[in-house]
Structure 1
């Protein structure tokens, strides 16, 4: 049963480490650290994606900046309390880590599969240039009664198709993890730059129960 649950959230990326390790938290004496990886897109843009890594998997006392790594694991979320609000924090929980000499398959540097459930009504819209977009929030089950809440964005025909999905609907998604910067307005005179993480959908299927 646990193996089946783990299979519903699979991600693999190849990219360059662009930060040092930062301490995150400890569970039963095992320390976890955050590190950022830069992943190339086919469009020549890059995504900066946070990884969560166990000190038992990688020597976190080393500086890996500039090294190319191939990692696989799960895209996970947790709520961080900030004052009176909760912020959804996303990162790739690394299960396997391997240094590589070069990326021989540039088209497969960033892949994710999710099998989960719609937990908010999809938001469908069009850009000023007429491009169709649908924002989805997917709940993906984890062992021991936990779930990860993953924002996803669909485009074009997929967006139109997803716009009709109902809350509780069972769907499967294939795509890539992406980062996106946006400006958050604090008040009339002040704003902050933030980074959002989401899954850009290349394929999705509604699962009939």
Structure 2
């Protein structure tokens, strides 16, 4: 059984603060704030990703719009009622934060590692251009009987591998978090622009039953 949540859900992001901090919520007297990081890809596209940070980490830091940061933490999910429907919200929960002080820190600006379980039947499809894609929903456990449910997308050879995974199967994956704009069309003809967040998988592997049993013994 996997107990160390930092070993199963690990995110490192390097980017520019996109907007001012906004108060999110308070737990046991500790305040948390939301903002977004703008992170470049190898192409001209950028990902704008939400982050949540504790007021404890903000002490003695001038965290303003336009500042370059390196953060590490976990990708968390929670459900929120939006316009009468339940939506899955994703955010990177920050555990460590620092200013960028060298170009070396910017070489791999968007990294995530997850160790979790398939909790929905994988959905395989091909694009009009013949590109293979498989959508996954991964449950990653954390303490106090909580889990984060994280949408992931696999491409090409990984997509072919992922389509054969079964519900409950444990997998490990590496990749990056991406933001994706799309349009939602309503029955009345109205079109709304929305943003989805998901993990784009670059590498993945299934965990064999024997390895899981050995982990339980340890």
- Normalised by the length of structure 1, the TM-score is 0.94
TM-superposed deviation, 1:63: 5.2
Residue of structure 1 equivalent to 2:215: none
Q: Is 1:42–1:107's contact at 8 Å kept on the other side of the alignment?
A: no
Q: More deviation in 28-37 or 80-89?
A: 80-89
Map residues 161-172 of structure 1 onto 2, 5 A cutoff: 161-172=161-172
RMSD: 1.8
SS in 2 for 1:187: coil
- Taking the aligned partners of 2:48 and 2:60, their CA distance within structure 1 comes to 19
Cα 1:59–1:65, aligned 2, differ >3 Å: closer, same or farther? farther
Structure 1: which 5+ runs fail to align?
none
The alignment status of 1:53 with 2:18, answered yes or no, reads no
Map residues 9-48 of structure 1 onto 2, 5 A cutoff: 9-48=9-48
Q: Deviations over 1:55-107 (max 9, x none)?
A: 11115995511110000000000000235421000000000000114533544
Q: Is 1:117–1:169's contact at 8 Å kept on the other side of the alignment?
A: yes
- Taking the aligned partners of 1:125 and 1:191, their CA distance within structure 2 comes to 24
- Taking the aligned partners of 2:106 and 2:65, their CA distance within structure 1 comes to 20
Q: More deviation in 181-190 or 112-121?
A: 181-190
Structure 2: which 5+ runs fail to align?
210-218
Q: Which runs of 4+ in 1 moved over 6 A?
A: none
- Taking the aligned partners of 2:2 and 2:63, their CA distance within structure 1 comes to 34
Residue of structure 2 equivalent to 1:194: 194
Residue of structure 2 equivalent to 1:141: 141
- Taking the aligned partners of 1:199 and 1:83, their CA distance within structure 2 comes to 25
- Normalised by the length of structure 2, the TM-score is 0.91
Q: Is 1:184–1:193's contact at 8 Å kept on the other side of the alignment?
A: yes
- Taking the aligned partners of 1:186 and 1:54, their CA distance within structure 2 comes to 37
SS in 1 for 2:50: strand
Residue of structure 2 equivalent to 1:205: 205
Residue of structure 1 equivalent to 2:214: none
Q: More deviation in 184-193 or 15-24?
A: 184-193
Residue of structure 2 equivalent to 1:130: 130
